[in-house]
Amino acid sequence: MDDQEVSINKIPRLLGQESFIKWKVLFEVAVNYNDTELWNSITDGQYIPSQAANNNVVIEIQMKKRDDKALSMLKLGLLWEILTRVNHHMTAKKMYDAVIKMFEGNVELRDIKKDRLKHQLDRFKFKEGERLKLVLQRFMTIVNEIRTIDLQISDFKLNKKLLSSLSGEWYTTSKLIKEKMNFPNFNLDDLISFLQASEHEMIENNMIREEKPSFPVRIALVALVGNLPIKSQ
């Protein structure tokens, strides 16, 4: 078994509020990797046979075993102090929902968090002297929270915000992306990869601190897009 399989098979542990967002994503990945039906038990609840199925005992036993396994995986993923607060729940869904409520709060609190994240995104901008790597790290911290709380913001809006938040030395590159590439169809990962490649190219050509790269450098930046869509003329 290679390192990746070991990593996926290992159940991530929820240690506290600071690790909750990461845990929520990685726990779903780990459970789905083992058995998609286990994750269905956690999100949809234990299967209950209908009267039309004549209360099929075999199916009921199978679903109960699957839910017990999902419940055990969930317990293994919780710090002891957290587990003791939700251990009275007898199904995987009820325990998982209790954990989510514990760290995300009720509907009203989630709405407050969504408003906070919108405000953080609106106010986001680069800090004086900050390199691209740190800008992207701070930006993606906000984006990852947005994605885990089901706050719907399109990649197009995120891309526009990111480009508008860069320092003046990125003016020409940002303009190039918006005007020469098929910008509305860029996803955020494409944009980040392109910016990182552009920074590398600009550093190699000693252009990172100049306002505008020379024409040959701009041509090189276009070439770095590779198979990304180019805006038709």
Q: Which of 85-99, 101-115, 179-193 has the highest mean pLDDT?
A: 85-99
Q: What local confidence, expressed as pLDDT, does residue 12 receive?
A: 92
Among candidate residues 36, 100, 101, 113, the one with its CA nearest the CA of residue 69: 36
Q: What local confidence, expressed as pLDDT, does residue 7 receive?
A: 47
User: Would you tell me how many other CB atoms lie within 10 Å of the CB of residue 173?
Assistant: 23
What is the Cα–Cα distance from 151 to 157, expressed in whole angstroms?
13
pLDDT digits (tens, 9 = 90+) for 4-57: 333 445 899 999 888 888 899 899 999 998 888 899 999 988 755 554 455 567
pTM of the model: 0.56
Q: What local confidence, expressed as pLDDT, does residue 181 receive?
A: 81
80 contacts 34 by C-beta, under 8 angstroms: no
Q: Return the beta strands (E) in the chain as ranges.
A: none
Least confidently predicted of 56-60, 82-86, 122-126, 175-179: 56-60
The residues that bridge with 230 in the sheet, in sequence order, are 181
Mean pLDDT, the chain, whole residue set:
81
What is the Cα–Cα distance from 200 to 72, expressed in whole angstroms?
47
Task: Assign 110 a pLDDT band (cuts: 50, 70, 90).
Answer: confident
Domain ranges of the chain: 3-104, 107-224
Task: Assign 106 a pLDDT band (cuts: 50, 70, 90).
Answer: confident
Average pLDDT of the residues in 114-135? 92
Residue 104 or residue 205, greater confidence: 104
pLDDT greater than 80 at residue 208: no
Q: What local confidence, expressed as pLDDT, does residue 1 receive?
A: 34
Task: Assign 206 a pLDDT band (cuts: 50, 70, 90).
Answer: low
Q: Which of 49-58, 89-98, 167-176 has the highest mean pLDDT?
A: 89-98
